Amino acid sequence: MRELAPADIELFREWLSREAGLKGEDYRDAFLARRIQPRIEAHGFTSVGGYLKALKAWPSEREMLLSRVLVPTTEFMRNPEVWASLGRLLMEAPFRDPLRIASAPCSTGEEAFSAAILMEELNRKGTVVAADRSPRALARLAEARYPERALEKLDKNLVWRYFKTENGWATPVQRVRRKVFPLLWDIGNGIPGSGFHAVLVRNLFIYLTQEAQERVIKAAGTTLEPGGFLVLGRVERMPQGLPGWEKADGECRIYRWKGGIR
């Protein structure tokens, strides 16, 4: 199949908006093309329009396509150096308990539970709001049951302290689970709640246009306490020139909200 034209991508954007309630305009062209073209070719279609029409009678393929767009990829304590830095920054900041952290989008919950484990390691009380627009992902989070192989990269002491394992499955202990509150929410509508001390928006910006990135950053500023932290993915950077922000740890992509006009 030929490379997708801008008109093909726009057709896909319209479908995402109409059928899935997603803001297709927020996603980069190259990202959308990488998500849809392999599915079209795998099933022998010659056009985007023909493939999208077929999805009306093909719910399993529709769900597969949406899962590729929503990118439900996460893991426990991904990039341990980032968590170590965030923990140090939270302890140095003049924040009183309870701490409030948001993970959005949280996917199936590994990052949200990692934030709860971080609080335990810091001996701090607090809650983690785990927001995602996918009911299926939140159901996985609520079940809190993960393949034991998901812990392979995790420090063994953390596994011992914070997980129960049985028959190839791992479950966070109750004191970790009690800190995490799942919420059905689309980050395209902002970040739910206020008074957060840290907002985790990791590995999302690589898929978004700069305009969409700036909206997310502005939303983070409206929900963070002055001095609170925004954490991006290791390969992501905050667009330059946005007021109210400073680097807290440039290497780990952690930014501090200085406060100001919201």
* Distance in Å from the first CA to the final CA of the chain: 47
* pLDDT (mean) for 44-50: 91
Q: Give the span between the Cα atoms of 124 and 97, in whole angstroms.
A: 7
The confidence score (pLDDT) of residue 252 equals 96
Q: Give the span between the Cα atoms of 103 and 125, in whole angstroms.
A: 17
The SS3 call for residue 18 is: helix
The confidence score (pLDDT) of residue 260 equals 55
Q: Give the span between the Cα atoms of 258 and 89, in whole angstroms.
A: 14
Query: Cβ of 141: how many Cβ atoms within 10 Å?
Result: 25
Q: Give the span between the Cα atoms of 77 and 128, in whole angstroms.
A: 15
Query: Cβ of 244: how many Cβ atoms within 10 Å?
Result: 17
pLDDT in tens, 180-224: 999 999 888 889 999 999 999 998 888 888 898 999 999 999 999
Which class for 193: exposed (0-12), middle (13-18), buried (19 or more C-beta within 10 A)?
middle
Q: Give the span between the Cα atoms of 199 and 13, in whole angstroms.
A: 28
pLDDT in tens, 63-91: 888 878 876 568 999 999 999 999 999 99
Unique residue bearing structure tokens 């690589």? 206
- Which one has a higher pLDDT value, 118 or 56? 118
Q: Is the pLDDT of residue 261 over 80?
A: no
Which class for 82: exposed (0-12), middle (13-18), buried (19 or more C-beta within 10 A)?
buried
pLDDT in tens, 106-124: 999 999 999 999 999 999 9
Q: Please give the model's pTM, rounded to 2 decimal places.
A: 0.85
The Cβ-side half-sphere exposure at 190, using a 13 Å CA radius, reads 10
Nearest-10 Cα torsion for 136, 191, 203, 147: -30
With bands split at pLDDT 50, 70 and 90, how would you rate the model's confidence at 1? low
* pLDDT (mean) for 160-167: 97
Could you state, in order of their start, the residue ranges of all structural domains in the chain? 6-70, 80-257
Domain 80-257, CATH number (from 3.30.1330.90, 3.40.710.10, 3.40.50.150, 3.30.43.10): 3.40.50.150
The confidence score (pLDDT) of residue 262 equals 43
The confidence score (pLDDT) of residue 254 equals 97
The confidence score (pLDDT) of residue 172 equals 98
Which class for 126: exposed (0-12), middle (13-18), buried (19 or more C-beta within 10 A)?
buried
